[in-house]
Structure 1
């Protein structure tokens, strides 16, 4: 026991690595839309080519996806052409293992039909191929493996009959692994997206945009929306800007406050481009500049709160190993957090094709210690995660306990065999200094109508 305590103290005393970028982030343009589409389609082709191996891994001969326009299967969004907006008519896809009679056929076989011609053709193909287990996306708990609409299931049962219906199986990890697994070539563009997020944060949380006493949190949220439009990206997680106080709690809305000197600001948002999504939470501080002793830096008590949140990030990443369940990582991290004398909460999730992507979750806000089903899935390598959490810290000057809320995206590195920050992590508050604003800047950069 003494040895365990000694090791814990030793770890907690180690100076953490510095991951905050040394230079300000730069806006880096993504390729033109036409080139983006070409790159995305190459990624999709490469990812689909891995499905036969996945089918064999899960002991299945085929993966049947049946969907209609405006009622797409969840998987559709990870396999579609970059310029497709939805499935056409009824779109039926049959992925196979490239064996026997289908060895030299397209994979997937695809039918677009609205008059019923697909069914005799599908029955013929199945009769020649004779897959013993046919995966359908019918899972009750995992969205990525549960996208088959009830009407499509009914028509499959009617048109294919009991012989093939009896071979239908639910293999949720097939869909989860397909969606979660990322390609090495995607990381370059994901890193550009992350740097653009940081550039927005550094500009938005500054005197260039915020005038203390005038700008509101809602003004700032709309500034981020406008900036995303200029960068030719969209969002899945609308920017939510809040002023943090003792009672503030992570939620789905920001606040509607006038930003004042001495405020602690927080944002949660993500951008979408090239079939990829980001998710980031950062904090800023508005310097008190109008008093007798104007501030030039963040109070030390706030720096200590941020340091605690950084330490909690390190704990989570230190416990995340491929093959462990999210619940195992959560339990180990919470035990270590308590052992080091901290309080907080962890609610990290996969990210990539979706903002909340396929794979194991590590806590939920409403399930802080154990997550059924999704928390029991294994952590997968070759994927991305959002390390989302907060640490409590008492701020004496305010007589308040604040939740220091952070979120950064990480990617698994085959080279180092560990998770690495895609661009960096926040270790220094963004500073808003009202003294730097001029009346001309206010007129030119106001975000209000």
Structure 2
């Protein structure tokens, strides 16, 4: 049975959130209004699922990457609390950190044989790696590693060392020196410094991860919808910081974590920039939040907008709604520009040209997402740099997840012609052909404030 089918089976048994298995909306479908939150798995069930997904990743992604890069050995070394970012994603659910020094070795013997997964460590890793060191027989861990490598005689030995990507730069200087001292001069010449394996491992999503990701994003969407509602906000009383800390408490009560401090700000008629902190939310305010959670080893990153109704209003002013629609159109320009093999810089230039030709005023600063909120892979612009950058030179690959993050500036006639920045961010998936939002995208404001009375029906 495939892992994806096994996850669906768990859902049918009530052990996993059923929404997590709902196929993601195609294209630019709007997200649900006031979405129901999926049930969060108990810790034991989470651990089982995380380990099964990890095993599938190790079985499929690592061999493919090593063969693509023509590398027959990959060595990762990490010390407790100074972990390589890749090693942290290869530890099973009951190992939160490297133990003393954890060494992982992948070796491809060729001839169609499976890639070996070995750990030269004192402690095992839930059967995901075969133990390859007996300290009672050889007390020197480095000597044990050297003997293991010499016995396999690899042609190219990859290590995680990169001047460009933090995700491929996890080998510290002292551990590099220990590794090199353990190798014979001939083997040292075969060591290759690269970030390709690390970035490829981190940016690639498996079918199982694709299946669960929509439910994780739905969970984040449900928290934002509740935060930007009358259940949390009382206009004239609630502050921006009150909403921030409500979100933090909500996530904590669910047994989850945020990967950055949530932001909530007020955009107000006649005020330049954003108002935050102890500023009280008032009718007529536009609200903005930036919010992300971590669940089942995956992250979300969402920016949504809300509006506080004035007495008698049923919706946000037309100028604000047009501003959000403009930001949606910038999203369309970006997602339509995705092509396998293009760099992030090329995507940025193409998307900006499309948006500007459509009369929009765009700013695009999108990024991969997955094991990390600002994930491994190519950057597509920065809020303070709308031109090419070194981090945008990585090619875009299939089976990757993205935060489509950007803004459009638009004039709001109802606010005296004030120019307003409409910031949106939604998580999406690129399958190599097209981009689809994992749980839809925002196209209408969250509405807060007085709810209009229902219209009377004459009899």
Pairing 1:37-436 to 2, within 5 Å after superposition: 37-50=47-60, 51-99=62-110, 106-112=116-122, 117-245=140-268, 247-248=272-273, 254-289=276-311, 294-372=312-390, 374-399=391-416, 400-413=418-431, 417-434=433-450
CA contact 2:264–2:288 (8 Å) conserved in 1: yes
Q: CA 1:255 to 1:343, structure 2 compared with 1: closer, same or farther past 3 Å?
A: farther
Structure 1: unaligned runs, 5 residues or longer: 1-15, 438-449
SS of the residue 2:121 aligns to = strand
Q: CA 1:418 to 1:239, structure 2 compared with 1: closer, same or farther past 3 Å?
A: same
Q: CA 1:110 to 1:53, structure 2 compared with 1: closer, same or farther past 3 Å?
A: farther
**In structure 2, C-alpha distance between the alignment counterparts of 1:139 and 1:17, rounded to whole Å:** 35
- 2:30 maps to which of 6, 15, 20: 20
Q: CA deviation at 1:98?
A: 3.9
Instruction: Give RMSD over aligned pairs.
Output: 2.3
CA contact 1:391–1:404 (8 Å) conserved in 2: yes
Q: CA deviation at 1:309?
A: 0.2
CA contact 1:176–1:358 (8 Å) conserved in 2: yes
SS of the residue 2:181 aligns to = helix
The C-alpha deviation readout for 1:208-238, integer Å capped at 9, x for no partner, is 1111111000000011111112222111022
Q: CA deviation at 1:18?
A: 6.0
Q: Which moved more, 1:199-208 or 1:263-272?
A: 199-208
Aligned residues: 411
Task: Specify the alignment match of 2:13 in structure 1.
Answer: none
Report the TM-score, using the length of structure 2 for normalisation.
Answer: 0.85
**In structure 1, C-alpha distance between the alignment counterparts of 2:376 and 2:258, rounded to whole Å:** 18
CA contact 1:349–1:356 (8 Å) conserved in 2: yes
CA contact 1:207–1:436 (8 Å) conserved in 2: no
Report the TM-score, using the length of structure 1 for normalisation.
Answer: 0.87
SS of the residue 2:419 aligns to = strand
SS of the residue 1:424 aligns to = coil
